[in-house]
Amino acid sequence: MAKKLNETQWRELQAQYDKTPQKSDSFGVTGEHWILVAILRRFGYNQSDEWKALDLAGELLSRGY
């Protein structure tokens, strides 16, 4: 189970998540997806798949801080 984010992490992740195109809005991975992956890695989550990173970010954000 993933750990809960602190408020600063949550706000940073939320800001990037809002900029990152969802699967239904994109034909492929964009630079915004890679930024999201980098943020998650900095927080200790090693997601190598951009779409899984998007799903994980959504899950973490839904938990709040």
Both tokens of residue 36? 């999201």
pLDDT value at residue 61: 96
Q: Does residue 47 contact residue 53 with C-beta atoms inside 8 Å?
A: yes
What integer pLDDT is reported at residue 45 of this predicted model? Answer: 94
Return the DSSP state at 2: P
Predicted pLDDT of residue 15: 98
What gap in Å lies between CA 45 and CA 43, rounded to an integer? 6
Residues of the chain short of pLDDT 70, as ranges, are 1-2, 25-29
Q: What is the pLDDT of residue 59?
A: 95
In this prediction, residue 26 carries a pLDDT of 59
Closest CA to 48 of 34, 58, 62, 31: 34
Q: Which two tokens stand for residue 49?
A: 């798949």
